[in-house]
Structure 1
């Protein structure tokens, strides 16, 4: 199963999980599956994308990958460290934009730069740390200016509520994933992709109506419909987090090159930014309805 996150989908982190979990290979920590169809390590199963690494051994008794023994493979500590760096730059950029009271015009310019950097990195075959860090900095500038505007003119305290809400979503999804309450399967991915594409299309149509017809467009971003769409947006981001966790877990299990930890950090940052923006929009709508 490949991730729907564009950062991971081209990199082959994932194992084939079957459908609906019935013939699925286990997530890390789950029981081994003995069939070639469900077990990526059984004979005739999809190959480990990093199998050329002679140090990426597998446990022949239980059909699960053992931790690689060399030092230049991705570890969970690498992912945490890189994610801390990218999120740290997002926070630093946001703080600078907030303190300097950056205008929305400059914020939109920073958002466009971040979008270009993100798209270029997503289609590169290898991560470019400088580009990923630059993306995080410009994204932070945009988020800081936007949050300051919303906090000042729309709903006081909205930014802090959105931050706390994003943290709550992250912790909740990590708990649900680690306890296997949520299992990432092909069916899960397929339905999530359909929902995400539908959400993006409807949001784009609404934006076009706002630009050419004025007002709130089709009403997808205000009132009761706006609240519903805000909740759906947060839920989509939360489910994408579960998929990101799966990709990181598989990358570590397969012995992916250490540089892939930058891509893992990039993907997690993209998802957290999505959740924060949807949370900020939702808090703004709810505050306006009070």
Structure 2
């Protein structure tokens, strides 16, 4: 279960519409269905198979009757005994990761670190985030290091914004909290339905958004000013709103990932990846809100 944030993760939804990494129901008439049902191939009335769980272990068919009796007679084991991910694990790891971001940001603010240090920390955080995203397993040390450097960058950039627009960091924090609560409520009430089409749309929109911002940055670096104007004026407001909406979509993907991980019994260490994805999404939203609010206050 990698981070569901499409910008930093290779994992998404499988081609048949299931959530990658957790298994999906094979289509009727497909190879998986035909293997268990000789009449399934080409049969439009064949029933789809039940979803498979990639985290299920063990082969009960080769157990002896005594072993089966002992297994079924034992008291039920909870997630703690089986090493499976729980919602408490996700909450705790996310709290640790976000707590590190907040403490590092506060330290950078109090110490009044130079802007160069902040952007250096941002570069390190980006590298660490990419390395973790392409790893097959979660690395708590890598994720916490990312949170530390990301926090340093946020503290520096927040102070820069605050010097020009007093109070804007707190406004962005409150806005980020509002987006989080709103998306969570919409997800729990199924106003937002995360499926393969939703994920593909978010991925395509994110790629297009990042490409446009990269082009704008290049024009700003070599031509001066605000480049193509994507971060100021009317266009800046439009792209700022798009950025916040994309961040909200990332959160919905993260919630889906957490829900599926708990439901299918993902290994406990996967909760670190869930915390990593949530942190990425919240940082994205905060930065976009900083830019958007600054435009309104100009």
- TM-score norm. by structure 2 comes to 0.79
- Does structure 1 conserve the Cα–Cα contact (< 8 Å) formed by 2:247 and 2:281? yes
Deviation string, structure 1 residues 130-184 (Cα, Å, up to 9, x no partner): 11111101100000010001101x2111100000000000000000000011100
Q: Are residue 245 (structure 1) and residue 255 (structure 2) matched?
A: yes
- Pairing 1:67-146 to 2, within 5 Å after superposition: 70-146=81-157
CA distance in 1, matches of 2:176, 2:264: 30
RMSD: 2.5
Alpha-carbon spacing, 1:170–1:216, altered in 2? closer, same or farther (3 Å): same
Q: What displacement does 1:45 show?
A: 5.3
Is contact 1:147–1:159 with CA below 8 Å preserved after alignment? yes
Aligned partner of 1:164 in structure 2 is: 174
Aligned residues of 2:23 and 2:54 also touching (Cα < 8 A): no
Q: Does 1:233 align with 2:238?
A: no
Gaps of 5+ in 1: 19-41, 56-66
* Counterpart mapping for 1:238-277 below 5 A: 238-277=248-287
Please report how far the alpha carbon of residue 213 of structure 1 lies from its aligned counterpart in structure 2 after TM superposition.
Answer: 1.2
Alpha carbons of 1:218 and 1:54: their partners in 2 closer, same or farther (altered >3 Å)? farther
Match of residue 35 from structure 2: none
Which string of whole-angstrom CA distances, capped at 9 and with x for unpartnered residues, describes residues 178-228 of structure 1?
001110011111111111111111111111111111111110000110011
SS of alignment partner, residue 193 of structure 2: coil
Cα distance in 2 between the residues matched to 1:15 and 1:175: 26
Query: How far has the Cα of 1:13 moved from its partner?
Result: 3.9
- What is the alpha-carbon distance in structure 2 between the residues aligned to residue 283 and residue 71 of structure 1? 47
Is the CA contact 1:8–1:247 (under 8 Å) kept in the aligned structure 2?
no
Secondary structure of the corresponding residue to residue 226 of structure 2? coil
Q: Highest Rg: 1 or 2?
A: 2
Cα separation, 2, equivalents of 1:172 and 1:203: 26
Kindly provide the CA deviation profile for residues 44-86 of structure 1, in whole angstroms up to 9, marking residues without a partner as x: 455322123679xxxxxxxxxxx85844100000000000000
Gaps of 5+ in 2: 13-18, 27-46, 61-77
For residue 38 of structure 1, what is the aligned residue in structure 2? Answer: none
Match of residue 50 from structure 1: 55
For the Cα contact (< 8 Å) 1:8–1:267, is it kept in 2? no
> Structure 1 residue 103: deviation in Å?
1.0
Kept in 2, the 8 Å contact 1:74–1:259? The answer is yes
Deviation sequence 1:75-131 (CA, Å, 0-9, x none): 000000000000000000000000011111000011111111111111111111111
Contact 1:17 1:186 in 2 (8 A): no
Partner in structure 1 of residue 192 of structure 2: 182
Name the CA shift for 1:281/1:235 in 2 (closer, same or farther; >3 Å): same
Classify 1:93/1:53 alpha carbon distance in 2 versus 1 (closer, same or farther; 3 Å): farther
Alpha carbons of 1:202 and 1:78: their partners in 2 closer, same or farther (altered >3 Å)? same
Give the paired residue count: 254
Is 1:90–1:139's contact at 8 Å kept on the other side of the alignment?
A: yes
